[in-house]
Structure 1
Amino acid sequence: MSTRRGRRVRRSRTALLVGGSLVAGLAALAAWIRFGGPRLPADTDAVIDRVAASDLAGVVTGTTGETDASGIRLWFESIPPVGPERGTVLLFISLGADGLLWPPVFLRALTGAGYRVIRFDQRGTGASDWLPEWSPEHPYTLLDLARDAVAVLDATGTDRAHLVGLSFGGMVAQEVAILAPDRVASLTLMSTSPDPTDPTLPEPRVGQLALLAIRNLPLLKYRLRGGDRALVKERIAKMISAFGPDGVDVEENAALVLYDLRHRNGLNFRAFRQHQAAVAATRSRTAALATLAVPTLVVHGTDDDFIPFEHARRLAASIPDAAHLWLGGVGHVFPYPPWADVEGAIVAHLDAAAR
């Protein structure tokens, strides 16, 4: 009898210890979420108030339009150059993102160098069709997205363009160059891969996205608060986490978020899954890239923790006469930390191809 009583006592003590540890752990997690994360600039609320009271006219400054690609509506913007036009740049944004997420500093660098810039929302994002009937059993492919891009070129009356692609967007840009090489003046491929499914290359570290999500848990407080102001603060906090406080323009980021919320569809989280499925459903490009005769610049960080650096080496080796810019110690971020050097290299590459 005493033995059974002793076991019950031990179980009760164990339950109390486990319960106490769980409560303490949850309390610590709650405190981390509440007080953790980067410190926002002191004037953040005042800046958000000022931007919210404006008409947000500076977010979309070019001529906007829509076109149809196989029954899918695509939104685009054509931004004129500063001074005489040297050519046209077509931008391809990263996984799950819409065209408005290109940093204004990059757009200014291109238009300031004399290039008309076209950015567009890839299918499933932004103001383009979101495809509610999409299913993983019948995904679209990167080739479908390449055809979308050609439709944008047609709609804007662009015979040839310099293609600039980031990460996932770099894969789509490669597909356009293979599909319609006569429409491509040059390629700039940043933080991307010729074939992320190639078994001879290190796998893209999708797990790094989970680690990033864990590191960003303190930012969850903004999402839990709800409202436009909190979403603006969440984006600013993410940017500060990636680039530090000195590299983040609070006013520009507030305007981007508020414009997306007020005038567009916002962020489609299903687009991330759709784009991942498109990558998996697309054949290798390595052999086809060897047939290209397009001036190409490959830019990649040596410490990329999402698409390993070996992918960039293979990409540069696959395209005849491709130039490269390896960024020592840089990860999977954009704009890249040594921004002045990268900006100069990209503009010089465009200028050389435009001659």
Structure 2
Amino acid sequence: MKIRANGIEIEVEDSVTQDASFAAKPAVLLIMGLGLQLIAWPTDMVQGLEDAGYRVIRFDNRDVGLSTRMDAAGKPNLMWASLQYKLGFTPAAPYSLSDMAADAIGVLDALGVRQAHVVGVSMGGMIAQRVALAVPQRVLSLTSIMSSSGAKGLPGPTPEVLRAMLSRPTGSSKSAVIEHSLALFRAIGSPAFPLPEADLRARITRGVERAFYPVGTLRQMVAVVSDHARAALLGRIAAPTLVVHGTADPLVPLACGQDTARRIPGAKLVTIEGMGHDLPPEPVRRILAALLSHITAHPAA
């Protein structure tokens, strides 16, 4: 369903749509990562949360999926933005992660949710951190999965992953786009938990058929690299925090999760051996167990 939040249209999936009784249950807000849609949240994770008695709210970030596309912002020059970042300058972004956090807060407002457990993966973890900073009274708990503090000096993607991210499909056909995405997901995937190619291809195909808008991903990338000041603010986060990270993440290395946990007072770090930058079934099972333990320990007052 579409809702109006923070001045834009946002596509939302809410447990209440399927079962009105979820309106009385504690809410978990899931924030997805760079260029990915709400359907990228594994069904096992969503179902596991609902089975445990939680209302699950997912949404497409701005510039992805079925939410508002920020066409007026134009196509950013990613190479120039990266160079500015490396030289110590802050790239000019078409919007910020704080703007995207305001979108997430707007989703809660539109649905009448006063407080929620906020969970983000990758870029979504960064947005979740911004939500916890902006409206601490509304965040029952924070969970940051395979994400980063954004601090300068942290390690970045491996050369292989960087090449895959900066490459382009060989053509504009659906098959060319799917093959390109397959190569990227193979590069960032979990070496200890490889997904069968048929499953991975099915996931990618579903996303491409639902919505494909790569320029939106570029704008999100600039928002990420321009948000390095967030690291110095993380000490202000008051929400009980869980940080989850794979030991084999080639896109956002483990040191990024370790730095996040170090900066947030009282944060708990859970590492998953052999997990990369994706959500295969076995890591999802472990993440869900840690997440449920975390959020059930911090109910609404």
TM-score band by shorter chain is 0.7 to 0.9
Of the three residues 162, 179, 182, the one matched with 2:134 is 179
Q: CA deviation at 1:251?
A: 10
Q: CA deviation at 1:195?
A: 1.4
1:36-90 residue CA offsets vs partner (Å, 9 max, x unmatched) = xxxxxxxxxxxxxxxxxxxxxxxxxxxx2311313x2222121249887641111
Q: CA deviation at 1:225?
A: 9.8
Q: CA deviation at 1:256?
A: 3.4
1:156-179 residue CA offsets vs partner (Å, 9 max, x unmatched) = 111011111001110000000000
Q: CA deviation at 1:321?
A: 1.1
Q: CA deviation at 1:336?
A: 6.5
Moved over 6 A (4+): 81-84, 230-241
Q: 1:162 and 2:117 equivalent? A: yes
Q: 1:79 and 2:15 equivalent? A: yes
3-state SS of paired residue (1:354) = coil
Q: 1:209 and 2:145 equivalent? A: no
Name the CA distance, whole Å, in 1 between partners of 2:132 and 2:66: 25
| Unmatched 5+ stretches in structure 1 | 1-63
- Give me the CA root mean square deviation: 3.2
Name the CA distance, whole Å, in 2 between partners of 1:308 and 1:248: 27
Aligned 8 A contact 1:239 1:248 in 2: no
Of the three residues 201, 208, 232, the one matched with 1:287 is 232
Q: CA deviation at 1:234?
A: 7.8
Name the CA distance, whole Å, in 1 between partners of 2:159 and 2:184: 18
The residue type equivalent to 2:206 in the other structure is L
Cα gap change, 1:248 to 1:282, in 2 (>3 Å):
same
Name the CA distance, whole Å, in 2 between partners of 1:180 and 1:335: 32
3-state SS of paired residue (1:353) = coil
Aligned 8 A contact 2:10 2:66 in 1: yes
3-state SS of paired residue (1:312) = helix
Q: 1:269 corresponds to which residue?
A: 214
Q: 2:5 corresponds to which residue?
A: 68
Name the CA distance, whole Å, in 2 between partners of 1:310 and 1:238: 22
Q: CA deviation at 1:348?
A: 1.1
Whichever of the two has the greater Rg, that structure is 1
1:212-253 residue CA offsets vs partner (Å, 9 max, x unmatched) = 469x99xx7xx769458x877887897788454559658973
Deviates more, 1:95-104 or 1:148-157: 95-104
3-state SS of paired residue (2:298) = helix
1:92-118 residue CA offsets vs partner (Å, 9 max, x unmatched) = 111111222212222112112111111
Name the CA distance, whole Å, in 1 between partners of 2:158 and 2:250: 9
Q: 1:321 corresponds to which residue?
A: 266
Q: 1:32 corresponds to which residue?
A: none
Q: 1:104 corresponds to which residue?
A: 43
The residue type equivalent to 2:45 in the other structure is F
The residue type equivalent to 2:119 in the other structure is V
Q: 1:308 and 2:238 equivalent? A: no
Aligned 8 A contact 1:141 1:281 in 2: yes
Name the CA distance, whole Å, in 1 between partners of 2:286 and 2:11: 31
Of the three residues 93, 99, 106, the one matched with 1:144 is 99
| Unmatched 5+ stretches in structure 2 | 77-91
The residue type equivalent to 2:230 in the other structure is R
Percent of pairs identical after alignment?
32
The residue type equivalent to 1:75 in the other structure is E
3-state SS of paired residue (1:338) = helix
The higher-RCO structure (CA 8 Å, 6+ apart) is 2
Q: 1:120 corresponds to which residue?
A: 59
Cα gap change, 1:109 to 1:251, in 2 (>3 Å):
farther
Provide the TM-score with structure 1 as the length reference.
Answer: 0.68
The residue type equivalent to 1:79 in the other structure is S
Cα gap change, 1:183 to 1:225, in 2 (>3 Å):
closer
